[in-house]
Amino acid sequence: ETGVTQSPTHLIKTRGQQVTLRCSSQSGHNTVSWYQQALGQGPQFIFQYYREEENGRGNFPPRFSGLQFPNYSSELNVNALELDDSALYLCASRPTGGGSYNEQFFGPGTRLTVL
């Protein structure tokens, strides 16, 4: 059973640019969530995808968008980058059904720096 992987590991962008972060879910998991973790803070929920549909969203503007693919890999896209978008971006996957009885498993994260 493979774990959750994310790419790239690190990324540097400038204000106003767009970025795409990628996540490959753990085998057998069809629910993926994305989180933003600022330095010294706990992760903040961005959104969740289940069977390629967004089924939950946190308090993030529409310039944060996502996709989930049939193979359960997913993307997080951020448009018009701002300095405050600098953070560690984490994806987490849960098993089929994504019910409350299932643990979340996190990837290693992508460190985004916006200059």
Partner 1 sequence: KQEVTQIPAALSVPEGENLVLNCSFTDSAIYNLQWFRQDPGKGLTSLLLIQSSQREQTSGRLNASLDKSSGRSTLYIAASQPGDSATYLCAVYHLSGTYKYIFGTGTRLKVLA
CB of 103 to partner 1, least distance (A): 5
Distance of CA 64 to the CA centre of its chain: 10
Yes or no: say if 43 and 37 are a contact pair by the CB < 8 Å rule. yes
71, 101, 115 from 36: Cα distances, Å: 23, 23, 17
Closer CB to partner 1, 20 or 104, in the complex: 104
Q: Where on the phi/psi map is residue 72: left (φ > 0), alpha (ψ -120 to 50), or beta? A: left
Q: Which is nearer to partner 1, 67 or 105 (CB)?
A: 105
- Amino acid making up residue 62: P
Least Å distance, CB 57 to partner 1, is: 7
Q: Which residues bind partner 1 (CB under 8 A)?
A: 4, 6, 33, 35, 40-45, 48, 55-58, 88, 90, 92, 100-101, 103-109, 111
As a whole number of angstroms, the distance between CA 15 and CA 48 comes to 26
Closest approach of partner 1 to the CB of residue 76, in Å:
15
Pick the closer one to partner 1 by CB: 18 or 27.
Answer: 27
In the complex, minimum distance from the CB of residue 77 to partner 1, in angstroms, rounded to a whole number = 20
Return the number of the residue (8 or 16) whose C-beta is nearest partner 1. 8
